[in-house]
Amino acid sequence: MNLYKDLLDKKTKLSLVGLGYVGLPIAVAYAEKLDVVGFDINEKKIEAYKSGIDPTKEIGDEGVKNSTVHFTKDETKLRECKFHIVAVPTPTNEDKTPDLRPVEGSSVIVGRNLTKGSIVVYESTVYPGVTEEICVPILERESGLKCGVDFKVAYSPERINPGDKVHRLKNIKKIVSGMDAETLETVAKVYELVIEAGVYRAESIKVAESAKLIENCQRDVMISFVNELSMIFNKMGIDTKAVIDAAGSKWNFIKMNPGLVGGHCIGVDPYYLIHRAKEIGVESKVIASGREINDGMAKYVAENTVKSLIKANKRVKNAKVAVLGITFKEDCPDTRNTKVVDIIKELKEYGVEVLVADPVANKNDIKEEYGLDLVNFEDIKSVDAVVLAVSHSNYREMKIEDFGKLYSKEAVKEAAVTSYVEEKHVFIDVKGIVDKNSVNKDKFVYWRL
């Protein structure tokens, strides 16, 4: 427990390697108790934090500005620390295999600045074995130190839910694990400093790595189930939401809604387990089929948008379609692995002109990452269809007549109830935000998952 005491006495420091949606809240929380070094290789991000700007919106500008975290891109500052938390992304390659370059790269940086008596804790989502079989050898190679003798490793999977203002870092129970009993206890005590909900001590690092994966695999499979139901009921002319609401009247029915599955966790993590299973000779069927269904939902939405345009007697080529929302979830600026981009790509393949608006996404980030120019909601005029892709609170507060203003000028007046034009307008409500009973079917072609 000497390291724990040294942290409390501020004889040494704690570092956060990777300051994104996960790392930043952890760094700020620990800075209330300990001396913290926040490291990231992204100079632009570091400068933003130093200026008191929080692009993640997880902490807020004021929270970052008032924090005592020492934000830096100077990796040598890590030598002042003996408790390192690595929270870097773990995406997939184009062929859906794990892309471990961020976690490997961070291990190189930590390794060459590692000192004796340190503990390195990985929070990045990985398949079972990565921490001990891939990261440890890198740490040893770069530091010249021996794991288990000169330093220890641990794993504590992140459970932060970006954009969630209810389930926050401090009130979500934290899984912790360590390479031995002593490490486990030290890591548990350090996390208990900031996790009010307490910690769960996993029996091994591999158990903790596995637990994180199945949390997201379970949710992915369940969403794929309702997505498949949505496709079935759509063919039958039955409203999926109405069916789910009816079934939800039973006490043990697990209520899930259909939708796009993107982001840095649910849309990615299952591929890590599928990959590892394949390596050991096990074919994943349920998890893999769930991924296939969910990965195909963007194309399914685009196809039904086109069908709805045809149904409304609209031209498809050169049709003007407004896509509202591009982030992977509501009220969160995170656009990692957003499936809305796939809807846009599919529509463009049909020759559709697409206008994209989002009230929370960063315009510069969208341009840099996806090559798309966001427009202001107020500037959208005379569209043939609206695809309401993300249920941002701005959109949830609107009624169908508010969206009606985005169509032709003739449709502005009393769009939900009556109109003096014969032309129908297409409204694709991906998340089922609008009350379908408020939509005048004589004036709108309305479709939702």
With b meaning 16 or more CB within 10 Å and e meaning fewer, what string describes 40-52?
Answer: bbeeebbebbeee
Report how far residue 133's alpha carbon sits from residue 140's, in angstroms, rounded to the nearest whole number.
11
Print the domain residue range for 417.
Answer: 296-448
Amino acid 37: pLDDT: 97
Cβ-Cβ contacts under 8 Å for 165 (sequence gap 6 or more): none
* Residue 284, SS3 per DSSP: coil
Cα-trace Rg, the chain: 24
Same domain, 220 and 335: no
Same domain, 31 and 180: yes
Report how far residue 195's alpha carbon sits from residue 188's, in angstroms, rounded to the nearest whole number.
10
Instruction: Work out the burial of residue 394: count CB atoms within 10 Å of its CB; fewer than 13 is exposed, 13-18 middle, 19 or more buried.
Output: middle
Same domain, 193 and 237: no
Same domain, 302 and 289: no
Same domain, 344 and 429: yes
Same domain, 343 and 194: no
Beta strands in 101-222, from DSSP E residues, in sequence order = 118-122, 151-155, 174-178, 199-201
Same domain, 290 and 176: no
Same domain, 193 and 221: no
When divided into structural domains, the chain yields a total of 3
Amino acid 165: pLDDT: 66
Instruction: Work out the burial of residue 189: count CB atoms within 10 Å of its CB; fewer than 13 is exposed, 13-18 middle, 19 or more buried.
Output: middle
Does residue 39 lie in a domain region?
yes
User: Angle 286-295/269-279 helices, nearest 10 degrees?
Assistant: 140
Residue 245's domain is classified under what CATH number?
A: 1.10.1040.10
Same domain, 277 and 382: no
Amino acid 415: pLDDT: 45
* Residue 446, SS3 per DSSP: strand
Identity of the amino acid at 402: D
Amino acid 414: pLDDT: 44
Amino acid 55: pLDDT: 87
Does residue 208 lie in a domain region?
no
- Per-residue pLDDT of the chain (449 residues), as tens digits, is 599 999 999 999 999 999 998 999 999 999 999 999 999 999 999 999 999 999 888 888 999 999 999 999 999 999 999 999 999 999 999 899 999 999 999 999 999 999 999 999 999 999 999 999 999 999 999 999 999 999 999 999 988 766 666 667 788 899 999 999 999 999 999 999 999 999 999 999 999 999 999 999 999 999 999 999 999 999 999 999 999 999 999 999 999 999 999 877 888 999 999 999 999 999 999 999 999 999 999 999 999 999 999 999 999 999 999 999 999 989 888 888 899 999 999 999 999 999 999 999 989 889 998 999 999 999 999 999 999 999 999 999 998 888 888 986 544 444 444 443 457 899 999 999 998 888 888 889 999 99
Residue 188's domain is classified under what CATH number?
A: 3.40.50.720
Q: Residue 299 has which token pair?
A: 């194309």
Known catalytic residues are: 265
Beta strands in 198-326, from DSSP E residues, in sequence order = 199-201, 320-324
* Adjacency order of strands within the sheet including 320-324: 353-357, 320-324, 385-388, 425-429, 444-448
Same domain, 285 and 302: no
Q: Cα dihedral sign for 37, 40, 41, 45?
A: negative
Cβ-Cβ contacts under 8 Å for 355 (sequence gap 6 or more): 320, 321, 322, 323, 375, 380, 383
Q: Measured at the alpha carbon of residue 234, what is the angle toward residues 229 and 237, in degrees to the nearest 5? A: 125
Same domain, 235 and 170: no
Tell me if 386 sits within 8 A of 426, measured CB to CB: yes
Amino acid 416: pLDDT: 47
Same domain, 147 and 188: yes
